[in-house]
Every structure is written in C-alpha cells, then in structure tokens.
C-alpha cells in the first residue's frame, strides 16, 4: 500500500458539514460528487497528500445511513492507495481478509475501489483505491 489516500467521514447533512469543515480546514472542497451505485453524496477536501471525504446517505439502504443509525456521525473508513488493485486484492484475500467485492468497482473521485470487511481488519472499514488513468 502506498499511502492514506483519504479518510471517509459519515455525516447527516453534507451541506452543513461542508460549511463546518471549510471553517476547520480554512479551504473549500475541491469536488462534490454523487455516487448513486453506493447511495452517497460526497465532498472532498485536499490536505497535502491526503484527502478528507464527507459522505451523506442518499437513501435509507445506503451503507452510510446504516452506519449513522448504528454508530452516529464519525469516521467511516480509511482508504489506502494501491499501485495494482487486482494484485492487492488477490494478496489480501490470500492473507485471509474478507473482500466485500470480488472485482474492483468504480467509486467516487475517479477511482477503482474495493472494501475489506471491518470484522477482518480489527473493526476498521478499509478501502483500497487506485486512480483510473
């Protein structure tokens, strides 16, 4: 794995949270994007080499809606950039981690992504991501 690409934070109201995090970071998000396949509305803030992604659910079945119902707002996942997502998925599967998707899928911010089940990584929802070139 190369670096922390972003940290995902689940929020109830992305409009209000964009204002809050704009004050916190003293900068505005560089991207707002809806990913219907994941049931999320997102915004991204660039902080040096890493990013913060805010996520609001767009429907009650969304992973973000379930997370907020159960745990409330807060850190939802950590995303790590990888060089070759196919090779990394194969490696982690062989190491015994549970992949939540068998093939990489298209995520926000022009990335191929794969999640690992938090039960197989000490309660942390891990995302692998690779930029689509």
Give me the residues that bind ligand CMX (CB under 6 A), please: 8, 35, 38, 40, 42, 55, 63-64, 66-67, 70, 76-77, 100, 107-108, 115, 117-119, 123, 125
The residue number with the shortest CB distance to ligand CMX is: 63
Minimum distance from CB of 42 to ligand CMX (Å)? Answer: 6
CA angle 20, 53, 43 (to 5 degrees): 70
Nearest to 116 by CA among 98, 92, 131: 98
A 10 A CB-CB count for 113 gives 21
Minimum distance from CB of 27 to ligand CMX (Å)? Answer: 21
Minimum distance from CB of 54 to ligand CMX (Å)? Answer: 10
Whether 131 and 110 have beta carbons less than 8 Å apart is answered as yes
């Amino acid at each position: 794995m190369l670096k922390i690409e972003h940290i995902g934070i689940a929020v109830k109201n992305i409009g209000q949270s964009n204002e809050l995090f704009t004050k916190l970071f003293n900068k505005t998000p560089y991207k707002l994007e809806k990913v219907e396949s994941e049931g999320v509305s997102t915004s991204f803030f660039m902080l040096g080499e890493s990013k913060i992604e805010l996520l609001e659910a767009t429907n009650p079945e969304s992973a973000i809606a379930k997370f907020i119902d159960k745990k409330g707002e807060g850190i939802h996942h950590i995303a790590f950039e990888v060089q070759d997502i196919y090779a990394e998925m194969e490696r982690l599967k062989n190491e015994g981690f549970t992949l939540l998707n068998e093939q990489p899928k298209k995520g926000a911010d022009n990335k191929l992504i794969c999640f690992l089940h938090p039960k197989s990584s000490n309660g942390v929802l891990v995302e692998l991501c690779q930029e689509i070139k």
